[in-house]
Amino acid sequence: MIFLVSFLAGLVVSFFFVIHDNFCRDFRVKGYRLFIIDIVFWLLAAVFTFSLLQILVYGKVRWFIFLGFGVGWYFLRLVLAYFRALKEKIKVC
């Protein structure tokens, strides 16, 4: 159960990272603005992650929580890369 929740948390943070990345790329954010947006994103991601740790396991650091988080992050990145490649292959707008 804890592994599943941490997997889903990894998916959520990865999803918001993709949104953040696309926003910065689409609006051509550069320089100090990009630095500030990155800092804010990672601070929010850290608060989310550590509050989840506090709620789930009362702040005890468990290796499988970080494993689940990493697997969730990596899984979403693989799925998105697959669909991006599929989109390029079939030439969808």
pLDDT digits (tens, 9 = 90+) for 24-43: 999 998 999 999 999 999 99
Mean pLDDT, rounded, for 15-26: 91
Neighbours of 30 (CB within 10 A): 9
Backbone angles phi, psi at 52, to 5 degrees: -65, -40
Helix (H) or strand (E) holding 46: helix 31-57
Residue span of the structural domain in which 85 resides? 2-90
Q: What is the pLDDT of residue 93?
A: 57
What's the rounded mean pLDDT across residues 9-18?
93
pTM: 0.81
Number of domains observed in the structure of the chain: 1
